Amino acid sequence: MLADCCFCITDFKDSLNTVYSAIEEADFLAIDGEFSGISDGPNVSALTNGLDTPEERYMKLKKHSMDFLLFQFGLCTFTYDQAESKYVIKTFNFYIFPKPFNRTSPDTKFICQSSSIDFLASQGFDFNKVFRHGIPYLNQEEEVQLREQYEERRSQSNGSGNPSYISPNSNKGPGSIPEEHREYIGRVVEKVESLFTTSEKTKERYIQISKVDDEERKRRERQKQEREQEELNDAVGFSRVIHAISKSGKLVVGHNMLLDVMHTIHQFYCVLPEYFLYCFLRLLDTKLMATTQPFKVILFQVFRLTAEGFPSYDTAQEQLHEAGYDAYITGLCFISMRYNATLTSHVFARLFLMRIIDIPYLNISGPDLQPKRDHVLYVTFPKEWKTSDLYQLFSAFGNIQVSWIDDTSAFVSLSQTDQVQIAINTSRYAESYRIQTYAEYVQGRQQVRESQGHSTQSWDEDGWVKPHYTSPSTVGAGPTGYSYGHRHHLNKKSHSHFPSKERRHKNQKYS
Amino acid sequence: MLADCCFCITDFKDSLNTVYSAIEEADFLAIDGEFSGISDGPNVSALTNGLDTPEERYMKLKKHSMDFLLFQFGLCTFTYDQAESKYVIKTFNFYIFPKPFNRTSPDTKFICQSSSIDFLASQGFDFNKVFRHGIPYLNQEEEVQLREQYEERRSQSNGSGNPSYISPNSNKGPGSIPEEHREYIGRVVEKVESLFTTSEKTKERYIQISKVDDEERKRRERQKQEREQEELNDAVGFSRVIHAISKSGKLVVGHNMLLDVMHTIHQFYCVLPEYFLYCFLRLLDTKLMATTQPFKVILFQVFRLTAEGFPSYDTAQEQLHEAGYDAYITGLCFISMRYNATLTSHVFARLFLMRIIDIPYLNISGPDLQPKRDHVLYVTFPKEWKTSDLYQLFSAFGNIQVSWIDDTSAFVSLSQTDQVQIAINTSRYAESYRIQTYAEYVQGRQQVRESQGHSTQSWDEDGWVKPHYTSPSTVGAGPTGYSYGHRHHLNKKSHSHFPSKERRHKNQKYS
């Protein structure tokens, strides 16, 4: 049975309770996002240097990937039915579009990348569903702003709890009347009052004016407030689903999910912090699991999983790269892996890092791994140089690995650490290029950081940076033999931690 | 009859000759574009100050509007049939998308503005036609690059006209063989040669190797060149239509067409020059005509116009904001206006400027109008000030008009010029704000410009800047009583003129 359980703005509101229940009863959730692009930087290799630190990678993605739109969100809920010994799976596909809510609401701009759009087009992605019928959203900042707008308008029209009232004979009340207008206003009020004494209806279009008692006025105000609350909910739109996932505290599974998580926070929650040390979601990245387990083999061993009462995907039929389907497959893989291997606490809260040679994941619940990289050289050279020039320069040293930083610098990893000093000595009198050890390079950056108020770090005897503190859940060496480093800006004040709802509202300007 | 004469990538190539003929036989053309957005600046009022100079407006649009995508291009050709005394009208709608041509072709990024997308969505715009089936394009720079890539590849594979040839026994020829590999290569060549002596076919997949004589080799190379030329044409795509319009020299009519023209040049031709003094298109903006003629009345007097052999729009049926329909209506209006009023040469090559108080158009064939603006004040103030603060400050001077420049400055137009000096005198001892005459403001900017090598200008007795030269087609005072100013950077070297094809190719880097 092929799923077409996708929600647009037309059916979103009616489906919301179904979504809420599915989240509430689930054992775990799987998510996936489709974006309008990946990188607005010059190219992907500049975005993903093989020797990035997790923090550097995060900063690059924050800078170069957040102006794209997450325009399809896939959610799949997995609930184990003990009696039937099988999983009940519910799949939801949401199309997302920041349709301006009213004249004062933000007119969002987002970037599209041709290659990404073309790829989705080739997969049959329905752009009309996004742009014509996408579900709107607000981040928490915008939600607060809009709520304040409503409240301000209400308190303005209410004065101090009294209905608005203009008297032509008084200078008091909301909006005092200048002397020169008093006569005119007086005449208007007379005309309005005369309307109550006549039942004549001569016009097709008219303004209905009625005198109401206090009871009736309060009833009408309650009605208006309810209407406004509903409008507000409509504007918050898809963000309500993210709030529900966050509040549920359920495990959220994704595959190579770093960008999905960043976009989700950025779009539906708040401006991304400088680095996320703690996240409001309990996360598990199956891509990270797959790097240490026989993922693909397991995938084809997937048990009979049936969905009850919900349309499900026929795994034989290719629906890859629809967000809901990707979330579905991710969930199946997670179940398979869980059946076939004991999950240790070490796989949680760690997001897979693509194309980093020696750091497999970003740790959102504690300090990141920090390899010493003592076989790595930092090389600067004229901007005409190509990879082949670097290969030639190091031709005496056997196999090398080049990780470009920018036009005039790159990391060069040697196969043997004891060659590092030879390379440095050889380069001493060179004029066109310059070689530093990785430690020297880090120290240079560190000095800049320290002058900006960042803390220092020291090396552990294992070759990892010594942590200044230990996180309870990730203490000591993990199963891979890594130990844990110190995150640079732990001593910085607010922005190294994921900010609480309340604090952000007060600190940040509406953008 | 409703037109659905729109072209996607699937039918574009087959329709191209039809489009070429329509352009060739037409008396005039009408165009219109739909964009993915209008402004990536903070807001439209910042983009369009009522006292912008035409050059300033152009620069703002260049900076804030060119990163959007022109994704639908409407072309309507109008040919007068003398015998039948009626117009033959052909309407074309092209969906445009910069689908990456191959791995090395540019991966274009463009911005979408939610309000624009939402507006088009509400008009039933088909985004799938754009993103799934849009016609690709290259600007001239990219076309040259791609051509060079093909030529380089050809000359590499041909050597000096000879087919590529590797001899295991020689160090000559393309790619000399290192000593240590010679034995291995020798064995491979032996195996390949043995293939010619056996007719055995054991594999399902194989590489076909055949010995060819010089004649056959040349024939195959010609075939390959033709195939490459076709690939190149496909990649140039929609730009070929723009080239045809440009080459035809036909009058191109548009309505409020400044952004259409800028996008057309930017997307299909080249990086926009610093300011376009001369344009490769003969242009007429009906919006400008409409500001001086009873446009709307004329529109409803539109004669019976029928299209022959082409589906046409039923004007009763609303199809507004489909580019082809907008072009069609624009053309009809132009015809009506031409029948109802004698067109002087003064309406050509002038593009309507929206929301500028005293300069109705940008002149692409000569110097722009430059009003003296001696009733205008340049006011700077603290960034907390709002429009109401300015109204209060000038409350003694009767009606004023405020044109915001940025957070801390605005132009204030007084209703009477003789109040200017009073305002200046009054402000002399003010601490929170500062007032200058418009002339002083211009002079201040001028000094900065001159230090950068720009020329000076002088005031005419009519109140317009005196031109340093006169353009043959726009000499003297126009019918509106305007005379013509001097464009600031006439003395600057290359970038004030629209660059020729050849020069741009050599000067500009592939972007």
The ipTM of this complex is 0.76
- CA-only gyration radius of chain B, Å: 30
Which of A233-247, B192-206, B238-252, B403-417 is the least confident region? Answer: B192-206
A155 and A227 housed in the same domain: yes
B132 and B269 housed in the same domain: yes
Domain assignment of residue B168, yes or no: yes
Mean predicted confidence (pLDDT) in A472-476: 34
CA A3 to each of CA A87, A322, A439: distance values in angstroms, whole numbers, following the listed order? 17, 11, 53
Pick A179 or A67 by higher pLDDT: A67
Q: Is B439 on the interface with A (CB under 8 A)?
A: no
Contact yes or no for A132 and B121 at CB 8 A:
yes
Distance from CA of A125 to the nearest CA of B (A): 9
Pair of tokens at residue A69: 């739109």
Which of A230-244, A380-394, B83-97, B186-200 is the least confident region? Answer: B186-200
Q: How confident is the model at residue B43 (pLDDT cuts 50, 70, 90)?
A: low
Torsion region of A111: left, alpha or beta (phi above 0 gives left; psi -120 to 50 gives alpha) = beta
Q: How confident is the model at residue B338 (pLDDT cuts 50, 70, 90)?
A: confident
Contacts of A108 in chain B (CB under 8 A): 113-114
Q: Is B98 on the interface with A (CB under 8 A)?
A: yes
Q: Residue A207: CA atoms inside 13 Å, Cβ hemisphere, count?
A: 4
Which H/E stretch holds residue B284? strand B282-285
Rounded Cα gap, residues A372 and B263, in angstroms:
51
Mean predicted confidence (pLDDT) in B356-365: 84
Contacts of A126 in chain B (CB under 8 A): 128
A246 and A316 housed in the same domain: yes
What pLDDT is attached to residue A334? 85
Domain assignment of residue B475, yes or no: no
Q: Exposure string (b/e) for A66-75, b if CB count within 10 Å is 16 or more? A: bebbbbbbbb
Q: What residues contact B126, with CB distance under 8 A and at least 6 apart?
A: A128, B95
Q: Is A297 on the interface with B (CB under 8 A)?
A: no
Contacts of A115 in chain B (CB under 8 A): 100, 107
Provide the strand spans (E) within B82-179. 86-95, 109-113
B15-24, pLDDT tens digit by residue? 999 999 999 9
The CATH number given to whatever domain includes residue B442 is: 3.30.70.330
Pick B10 or B434 by higher pLDDT: B434
Q: Is A99 on the interface with B (CB under 8 A)?
A: yes
Q: Which domain holds residue B153?
A: 143-235
Mean predicted confidence (pLDDT) in B252-264: 93
Q: How confident is the model at residue B42 (pLDDT cuts 50, 70, 90)?
A: low
The CATH number given to whatever domain includes residue B282 is: 3.30.420.10
Which of A183-187, B130-134, B217-221, B431-435 is the least confident region? Answer: A183-187
Q: Which residue of A has its CA nearest to B101?
A: A115
Contact yes or no for B97 and A114 at CB 8 A:
yes
Q: Is B97 on the interface with A (CB under 8 A)?
A: yes
What DSSP assignment string belongs to B438-472? Answer: HHHHHHHHHHHHHHTT----EE-TTSBEEPSS--G
Q: Is B119 on the interface with A (CB under 8 A)?
A: no
Name the nearest CA neighbour of A463 among A373, A402, A399.
A373
Q: What residues contact A500, with CB distance under 8 A and at least 6 apart?
A: none
What pLDDT is attached to residue A466? 38
Contacts of A114 in chain B (CB under 8 A): 97-100, 107-110
Contact yes or no for A109 and B36 at CB 8 A:
no
What pLDDT is attached to residue B481? 33
Residue A460: helix, strand or coil by DSSP? Answer: coil
Q: How confident is the model at residue B103 (pLDDT cuts 50, 70, 90)?
A: confident
Taking each helix axis from N to C terminus, what angle separates A239-248 and A258-268, rounded to the nearest 10 degrees?
Answer: 120
Report CA B262 to chain centroid distance, whole Å: 3
Q: How confident is the model at residue B466 (pLDDT cuts 50, 70, 90)?
A: very low
Neighbours of A247 (CB within 10 A): 12
Q: Which of A308, A332, A363 is the last residue of a domain?
A: A363
Which of A375-389, B38-52, B125-139 is the least confident region? Answer: B38-52
Q: What residues contact A127, with CB distance under 8 A and at least 6 apart?
A: A117, A120, A121, B127, B128, B130, B131, B132
B46 and B92 housed in the same domain: yes
Distance from CA of A237 to the nearest CA of B (A): 16
Rounded Cα gap, residues A268 and A243, in angstroms:
8
What pLDDT is attached to residue B204? 60
Taking each helix axis from N to C terminus, what angle separates A214-236 and A239-248, rounded to the nearest 10 degrees?
Answer: 80
B34 and B104 housed in the same domain: yes
B214 and B339 housed in the same domain: no
Contact yes or no for B99 and A110 at CB 8 A:
no
C-alpha torsion sign, points B248, B106, B272, B320 = positive
Name the nearest CA neighbour of B139 among B206, B188, B70.
B70
What pLDDT is attached to residue B68? 97
B161 and B281 housed in the same domain: no
Q: Is A510 on the interface with B (CB under 8 A)?
A: no
Mean predicted confidence (pLDDT) in A479-500: 33
Contacts of B110 in chain A (CB under 8 A): 111-112, 114
What pLDDT is attached to residue B333? 81
A133 and A147 housed in the same domain: no
Q: Is B237 on the interface with A (CB under 8 A)?
A: no
Q: Is B42 on the interface with A (CB under 8 A)?
A: no
Pair of tokens at residue B233: 């044409």
Q: How confident is the model at residue B479 (pLDDT cuts 50, 70, 90)?
A: very low
Contacts of A120 in chain B (CB under 8 A): 131
Q: How confident is the model at residue B355 (pLDDT cuts 50, 70, 90)?
A: confident
What pLDDT is attached to residue B70? 98
Residue A118 contacts residue A126 (beta carbons within 8 Å): no
Q: What is the count of structural domains for chain A?
A: 3
Q: Is A449 on the interface with B (CB under 8 A)?
A: no
Mean pLDDT for chain A?
77
Rounded Cα gap, residues A477 and A484, in angstroms:
7
Q: Which of A298, A330, A363 is the last residue of a domain?
A: A363
Q: Is B158 on the interface with A (CB under 8 A)?
A: no
Indicate whether B385 pLDDT > 90.
yes
What pLDDT is attached to residue B176? 63
Distance from CA of A136 to the nearest CA of B (A): 11
From the list B69, B114, B126, which residue is nearest A100 (CB)? B114
Residue A481 contacts residue A371 (beta carbons within 8 Å): no
Indicate whether A309 pLDDT > 60.
no
Contact yes or no for A36 and B112 at CB 8 A:
yes
Domain assignment of residue A487, yes or no: no
Rounded Cα gap, residues A42 and A407, in angstroms:
11
What DSSP assignment string belongs to B412-440? Answer: EEES-TTHHHHHHHHHTT-SS-EEEEHHH
**pTM of the prediction?**
0.76
Residue type, A3: A
What pLDDT is attached to residue A114? 96
Beta-ladder partners of A437: A377
Pick B52 or B22 by higher pLDDT: B22
Distance from CA of A238 to the nearest CA of B (A): 16
Neighbours of B58 (CB within 10 A): 23
What pLDDT is attached to residue B209? 73
Rounded Cα gap, residues A246 and A238, in angstroms:
13
- CA-only gyration radius of chain A, Å: 30
What pLDDT is attached to residue A506? 33
A420-467, pLDDT tens digit by residue? 988 998 888 888 999 999 999 988 888 887 777 654 444 334 333 333
Rounded Cα gap, residues B299 and B289, in angstroms:
13
Residue B83: helix, strand or coil by DSSP? Answer: coil
What pLDDT is attached to residue A258? 93
Q: Which residue of A has its CA nearest to B118?
A: A99
Domain assignment of residue B504, yes or no: no
Residue type, A116: S
Indicate whether A69 pLDDT > 90.
yes
Q: Is A110 on the interface with B (CB under 8 A)?
A: yes
What pLDDT is attached to residue B449? 76
B296 and B440 housed in the same domain: no
Contact yes or no for B100 and A118 at CB 8 A:
yes
From the list B117, B120, B128, which residue is nearest A126 (CB)? B128
Indicate whether B505 pLDDT > 70.
no
Mean predicted confidence (pLDDT) in B35-56: 81
What pLDDT is attached to residue B281? 76
Q: How confident is the model at residue A322 (pLDDT cuts 50, 70, 90)?
A: confident
What pLDDT is attached to residue A42? 61
Provide the strand spans (E) within B115-210. none
Pair of tokens at residue B161: 């006209």
Residue % of chain A over a pLDDT of 90: 36
B250 and B128 housed in the same domain: yes
CA B358 to each of CA A177, A428, B49, B378, B461: distance values in angstroms, whole numbers, following the listed order? 37, 67, 11, 16, 18
Q: Which residue of A has its CA nearest to B37?
A: A109
Q: What residues contact B316, with CB distance under 8 A and at least 6 apart?
A: none
Rounded Cα gap, residues B232 and B149, in angstroms:
11
Q: Is B462 on the interface with A (CB under 8 A)?
A: no
Q: What residues contact A290, with CB distance under 8 A and at least 6 apart?
A: A255, A296, A333, A337
Which of A183-192, A299-308, A459-468, B342-351 is the least confident region? Answer: A459-468
B274-329, pLDDT tens digit by residue? 887 666 678 888 888 777 655 545 554 444 444 444 445 555 454 556 888 889 88
Rounded Cα gap, residues A299 and B34, in angstroms:
46
Which H/E stretch holds residue A146? helix A140-158
Q: What residues contact B386, with CB distance under 8 A and at least 6 apart?
A: none
Residue B199: helix, strand or coil by DSSP? Answer: coil
Maximum average pLDDT range among B81-90, B303-312, B439-448: B81-90
Q: Is A253 on the interface with B (CB under 8 A)?
A: no
Q: Which residue of A has its CA nearest to B127?
A: A128
Q: Is A115 on the interface with B (CB under 8 A)?
A: yes
A204 and A133 housed in the same domain: no
Domain assignment of residue B155, yes or no: yes
B160 and B309 housed in the same domain: no
Residue B241 contacts residue B75 (beta carbons within 8 Å): yes
Distance from CA of A458 to the nearest CA of B (A): 43
Helices marked H in A163-238: 182-195, 214-236
Pair of tokens at residue A64: 């170069």
Contact yes or no for A110 and B110 at CB 8 A:
no
Task: Name the percent of chain A in helix, strand, coil, to the closest 5.
Answer: 40, 15, 45
Q: Exposure string (b/e) for A428-463, b if CB count within 10 Å is 16 or more? A: eeeeebebbbbbebbeeebeebeeeebeebeebeee
Mean predicted confidence (pLDDT) in A465-482: 35
Mean predicted confidence (pLDDT) in B491-507: 33
Pick A12 or B157 by higher pLDDT: A12
Q: How confident is the model at residue A71 (pLDDT cuts 50, 70, 90)?
A: very high
Pair of tokens at residue A17: 């309770």
Q: Which of A207, A235, A263 is the last residue of a domain?
A: A235
Contact yes or no for A128 and B130 at CB 8 A:
no
Contact yes or no for A115 and B107 at CB 8 A:
yes
Mean pLDDT for chain B?
77
Which H/E stretch holds residue A491? none
Domain assignment of residue B497, yes or no: no
Mean predicted confidence (pLDDT) in B215-222: 90
Beta-ladder partners of B79: B88
Pick A306 or A402 by higher pLDDT: A402
Contact yes or no for A40 and B128 at CB 8 A:
no
Residue A376: φ, ψ to 5°: -105, 135
Contact yes or no for A111 and B109 at CB 8 A:
yes
Q: What residues contact A7, with CB distance under 8 A and at least 6 apart?
A: A15, A92, A93, A94, A95, A135
Indicate whether A179 pLDDT > 80.
no
What pLDDT is attached to residue A97? 97
Rounded Cα gap, residues B219 and A200, in angstroms:
94
Mean predicted confidence (pLDDT) in B6-33: 91
> Which residue of A69, A101, A118, A122 to mutate against B (max B Cβ within 10 Å)?
A118
Helices marked H in B238-386: 239-248, 258-268, 286-290, 295-299, 323-340
Domain assignment of residue B476, yes or no: no
Q: How confident is the model at residue A78 (pLDDT cuts 50, 70, 90)?
A: very high
Contacts of B100 in chain A (CB under 8 A): 114-115, 118
Q: How confident is the model at residue B263 (pLDDT cuts 50, 70, 90)?
A: very high
Distance from CA of B151 to the nearest CA of A (A): 23
Torsion region of B28: left, alpha or beta (phi above 0 gives left; psi -120 to 50 gives alpha) = beta
Domain assignment of residue B437, yes or no: yes
Which of A114-118, A383-387, B47-51, B113-117 is the least confident region? Answer: B47-51
Contacts of A109 in chain B (CB under 8 A): 37, 40, 111-114
Helices marked H in B253-322: 258-268, 286-290, 295-299
